[in-house]
Amino acid sequence: MRRFADMNATGVRSRNPERGEGSQVNRMIVALAAYIVLALLVWATISDQRIRLVTLAIVAMFAVKTWVHRKDVMHPDGDEDVQS
C-alpha cells in the first residue's frame, strides 16, 4: 500500500517535498552498509579462497552498481557543474 501513497488521482507519482536528497543519501548509506555486512559474512563463512574472492567480487559489483545508479538518480542529465 505504501507505493500508492505518493500517487495523485491521475495515477502519476507526485514528488514529496519532504523527501529530498537526504532520503536518497540515507538509503544509499544503508545499502552500502548492507553490502559491507554481506562481504564480512562471506569472508567469515566461506573457507575456499577462490569461491570467497569470486563472491566478494560479485558483492563489490553490486555495490558499484548501487553507487552508479545513485549518481544517475541524483544527476539525471549527467552535468554536475552546469555553466551558463
The count of domains in the chain is 1
Q: Return phi, psi of residue 8, to 5°.
A: -90, -170
Domain hosting residue 50, numbered range: 45-76
53 inside domain: yes
**Mean pLDDT of all residues in the chain?**
77
What local confidence, expressed as pLDDT, does residue 21 receive?
A: 59
The answer to whether 7 and 1 have CB atoms below 8 angstroms apart is no
Element (H, E) at 60: helix 49-74
pTM: predicted TM-score of the whole model, two decimal places: 0.58
40 inside domain: no
